[in-house]
């Protein structure tokens, strides 16, 4: 659109759907206008007709749809398009008092994208038993999701396309299930649990544990890929030990490692291993994702500090990994809380020290006596729930959990149940 006052023209303005509310157009201008000034919209009828004709010839933009309808929960519809993912929440799904909602009925309403400029490339539905949602609510959910997607596409900076990773997730491609373990007990529980991961990520130091040989063999027999994760901090005195442990894993047939700080990127690649990156190198935006992709990372974990709407924008990128369960590490420190309270008593397993901050929040300090450092965790776990979304890697990370707690988390994740006492990504 071009605007002008009666006296002089103003620059061309780009108008997006987000600027329009009903029949009111809202925008900001650098030039000063006073009440009563005459403003004219310049219209070129011939140009408008030409643009409309060209627009009608443009193909619809394909969109991947993922819907979740479960009684007692808000209806959810996720759209993925051109590396951007948005999720809309609608009316609460009801329990059916008569005929429940069928997959065909839901698909018929949610896939009606005619006139929106989008076409449905793939559709996946997670439909709970005995659910009901009126057609009007399904239509409203679809409209809200499409509007949010258009707004997100228009809001992307003009140079964002060049910063976007060049390999978005293939539509309909199954994402990995990754499970990270820090103890032999957790590893054994995963192998016996209801979820079979595509990738199991053991702590680097587990190569020195006697049980590992048998656990590694059982994991390989199940066709599960083993990719050890490296520590979040490396010191000069520990580099030789880290290298020796990588060689031990390589001798078992491991061909990839997960790096957790920038110094490890070249070390992994120089060793001839495939590179992955973990949550300590958590991706915050598409530019950092592109950097890691160009560094050779075949997958990268999203930052645990992102809010839900921010993770939704990134989970459509190839290799993006969303952590759906973990105890969030708040700090790594060389101050030993156990030593301060009881004196230095080195232990191969380390010491677990419960703490309470000034606001009454419970914390857990785990000491790593080998490296002489502590990691401080939030005692309330982050839990998003395993959903088996296509095109998105999902990760459960176990750190301080015993076998019973590990089994409980796996059981609830497999059933897509809530986990009492957990927190979710912020909206």
**Residue 313, CA distances (Å) to 115, 117, 164, 232, 308 in order:** 24, 20, 11, 26, 9
Q: Which two tokens stand for residue 52?
A: 């409309």
Residues 234-293: tens digit of each pLDDT = 888 889 999 999 999 999 999 999 999 999 998 999 999 999 999 999 898 888 888 898
pLDDT score of 166 more than 90: no
pLDDT digits (tens, 9 = 90+) for 2-15: 444 444 444 555 55
Instruction: For residue range 48-101, list pLDDT tens digits in order.
Output: 777 667 666 667 788 888 888 999 999 999 888 876 778 899 999 999 988 999
Identify whether the C-beta of residue 316 lies closer than 8 Å to the C-beta of residue 322. no
Segment 224-232 mean pLDDT: 95
Torsion sign (Cα): 96, 102, 105, 111: positive
CB 199, CB 224: distance < 8 Å: yes
What is the average per-residue pLDDT within 196-224?
A: 95
Going by their DSSP bridges, the two strands 362-368 and 373-378 should be labelled as antiparallel
Q: What angle do CA 244, 247, 253 make, to 5 degrees?
A: 155
CA distances to 201, 211, 256, 416 from 228, in Å: 5, 15, 8, 27
C-alpha 333/C-alpha 156 separation (Å) is 38
Per-residue DSSP letter, 204: G
Higher pLDDT, 49 or 192: 192
Measured CA to CA in angstroms, residue 329 lies from 130, 147, 365, 424 at distances of 40, 36, 9, 15
Query: Is residue 190 predicted with pLDDT exceeding 80?
Result: yes
Contact residues for 163 (Cβ-Cβ < 8 A; gap 6+):
286, 287, 290
What average pLDDT does the chain have? 82
Q: Give the mean model confidence (pLDDT) for residues 192-196.
A: 93
Nearest to 256 by CA among 242, 245, 246: 246
Q: What is the CA radius of gyration of the chain?
A: 26
Q: Compute the distance between CA of residue 110 and CA of residue 141 in angstroms, rounded to an integer.
A: 8
Alpha carbon distance 112, 197 (integer Å): 35
Confidence bin at 18 (pLDDT 50/70/90): very low
| SS3 assignment, position 224 | coil
Distances (CA, A) of 299 to 20, 116, 167, 175, 295: 39, 33, 11, 11, 11
């Amino acid at each position: 659109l071009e605007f002008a006052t009666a006296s002089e023209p103003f620059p061309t303005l780009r108008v997006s759907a987000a600027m329009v509310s009903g029949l009111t157009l809202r925008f900001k201008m650098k030039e000063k206008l006073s009440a009563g000034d005459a403003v004219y919209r310049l219209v070129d009828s011939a140009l408008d007709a030409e643009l409309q004709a060209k627009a009608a010839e443009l193909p619809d933009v394909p969109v991947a749809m993922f819907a979740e309808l479960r009684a007692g929960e808000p209806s959810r519809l996720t759209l993925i398009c051109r590396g951007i993912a948005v999720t809309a929440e609608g009316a609460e799904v009801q329990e059916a008092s008569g005929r429940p909602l069928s997959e065909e009925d839901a698909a018929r309403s949610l896939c009606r994208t005619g006139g929106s400029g989008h076409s449905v490339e793939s559709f996946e539905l997670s439909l709970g038993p005995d659910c009901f949602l009126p057609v009007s609510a399904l239509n409203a959910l679809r409209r809200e999701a499409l509007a949010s997607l258009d707004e997100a596409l228009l809001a992307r900076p003009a140079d964002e396309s060049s910063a976007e990773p060049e390999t978005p997730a293939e539509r309909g491609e199954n994402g990995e299930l990754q499970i990270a373990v820090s103890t032999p007990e957790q590893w054994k529980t995963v192998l016996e649990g209801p979820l079979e991961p595509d990738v199991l990520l053991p702590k680097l130091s587990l190569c020195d544990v006697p049980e590992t040989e048998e656990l590694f063999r059982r994991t390989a027999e199940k066709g599960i890929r083993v990719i050890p994760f490296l520590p979040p901090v490396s010191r000069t005195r520990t580099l030789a030990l880290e290298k020796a442990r990588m060689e031990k894993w390589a001798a078992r047939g491991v061909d990839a490692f997960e790096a957790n700080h920038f110094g490890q990127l070249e070390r992994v690649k120089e060793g001839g291993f495939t590179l992955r990156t973990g949550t300590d190198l958590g991706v915050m935006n598409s530019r950092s994702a592109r950097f890691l992709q160009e560094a050779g990372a075949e997958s990268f974990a999203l930052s645990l500090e992102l809010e839900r709407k921010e993770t939704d924008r990134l989970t459509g990128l190839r290799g993006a990994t969303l952590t759906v369960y973990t105890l969030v590490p708040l700090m790594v420190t060389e101050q030993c809380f156990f030593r301060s309270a009881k004196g230095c008593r080195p232990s191969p397993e380390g010491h677990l020290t419960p703490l309470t901050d000034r606001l009454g929040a419970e914390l857990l300090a785990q000491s790593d006596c080998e490296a002489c450092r502590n990691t401080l965790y939030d005692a309330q776990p982050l839990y998003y729930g395993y959903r088996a979304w296509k095109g998105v890697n999902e990760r459960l990370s176990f750190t301080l959990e015993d076998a019973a707690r590990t089994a409980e988390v796996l059981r609830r994740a497999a059933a897509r149940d809530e986990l009492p006492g957990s927190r979710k990504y912020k909206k």
